[in-house]
Amino acid sequence: MNCEVCQLKELELEHFEIREVLVCGWMFAGILHTIVFHRALGLVRPKDVDMELFDITYVQCGEVELEKKIDEKIEQFVCWVEKHPNKKSRICLSFYEVKNKQASWFSNKIERLYWEQWYINLNVVQHPKAHTSKSHHCKVVDTGEGGLEDRNARSAALEASLREVLFQIIKFVNEKKDHVPPIPNLEGPVSFPYEITIPSSSDSAFGMDMIKRMLQTGHPTMLS
């Protein structure tokens, strides 16, 4: 099966304050929802969501279950990032089809055929604190303006790159249409099964996840 993979442009974040955690959450929510919206080919009543920290509006499918699942995953991811500072990490959103397969030893009869994977990459810059502390000094001296400007500049840069990622999603969706399975006759907006995999390679949690998946599907395909 043809599995298209889209590596989204890396987002760079200085992870040193709670705010960044929020930013991180918003960014990933925006990205995940945007992707899912493009793959939710059931009847959708789009819901616009304004990111609080950015001047960006993204679209949700308006399905509660989906929102819950995404929020949950993002929370886990943010926790992971906090515990693993200075690392590159990523979330993988995969879409698959379920096929019945003749039972083989020890695996379920269900096979997941992944037809699309999206990698959302995050890079938490390692020395943000040093920078910030410097700027903090400046702040004190400059009555905070320096620090503020600094932050605004970073925020603007992040917003720009987030926007870029969202456009990247749109372009990908536009260019690659052939691999998308036929629209099933399902109720609800989310037309294809999907899974969200948090942290990327080398994470112990990820390893557990893989094991779980193997147990579930018997096919540890995909995911790096």
Partner 1 sequence: MASSHGNAHSEAAKIEQIITEFFAKSLHIILESRALYMSSRNSFGDQVASSPSSSSSSSSSVRPRDKWFNLALRECPAALENIDLWRQSNLEPIVIDVVLVERRVNRDPVSFSPKRVLPRSSSMKERYPLSWNSDQEELGIESKSEKIIERWVLQYENRKTRDSNSNSRRSSNISLHTLYKKSTLLLRSLYSTVRLLPAYKIFRELNSSAQICPFTLAHRVSSFVEPFTRKEEAEMLKFGFTPVDTSSGRLCLSVMYLPSAKNVNSEPTTPMSPQVITDYVGSPLADPLRRFPLVPAPGLPSYGSPSSLPFSRRHSWSYDHFRASPPSITCSPSPTHSESHTSVSNANSRRLPPASLPPHPTELSLIQKKNSGFDDYYPSPSYSIDSSGSLPSATLLRTESAPVSIPAAEVANSPAFSNRHYLPPSPPLRGSRYASKTMNMQTGATAEKLFSLGKDEPRKYSGVKISANSSPQISFSRSSSRSYQDDFDDPDFTCPFDVDDDDMTDPGSRAESLDHGHMADALEAGGFFPIRKSHDAAVGALVHLLKKAPPLRQDLPISEHLSQGACSQTWNNNAKEPNQIPEAPMPVSMMSSGLIATRKTTADALEEFHGYREMKNLLLTRGSKHQI
**Which residues lie near partner 1 (CB under 8 A)?**
34, 37-38, 40-50, 55-59, 62, 163, 166-167, 169-170, 173-175, 177, 180, 182-183, 189
CB of 189 to partner 1, least distance (A): 8
Closest C-alpha among 203, 160, 192, 24 to residue 93: 192
CB of 190 to partner 1, least distance (A): 11
CB of 187 to partner 1, least distance (A): 11
Burial, 47: exposed, middle or buried (Cβ in 10 Å; 0-12, 13-18, 19+)?
middle
**Residue placing its CB nearer to partner 1 in the complex, 18 or 177:** 177
What is the C-alpha separation between 214 and 100, in angstroms, rounded? 16
What is the C-alpha separation between 89 and 200, in angstroms, rounded? 5
CB of 141 to partner 1, least distance (A): 29
**Residue placing its CB nearer to partner 1 in the complex, 63 or 111:** 63
CB within 8 Å of 214: residues ≥ 6 apart: 220
**Residue placing its CB nearer to partner 1 in the complex, 3 or 41:** 41
**Residue placing its CB nearer to partner 1 in the complex, 136 or 181:** 181
What is the C-alpha separation between 53 and 214, in angstroms, rounded? 38
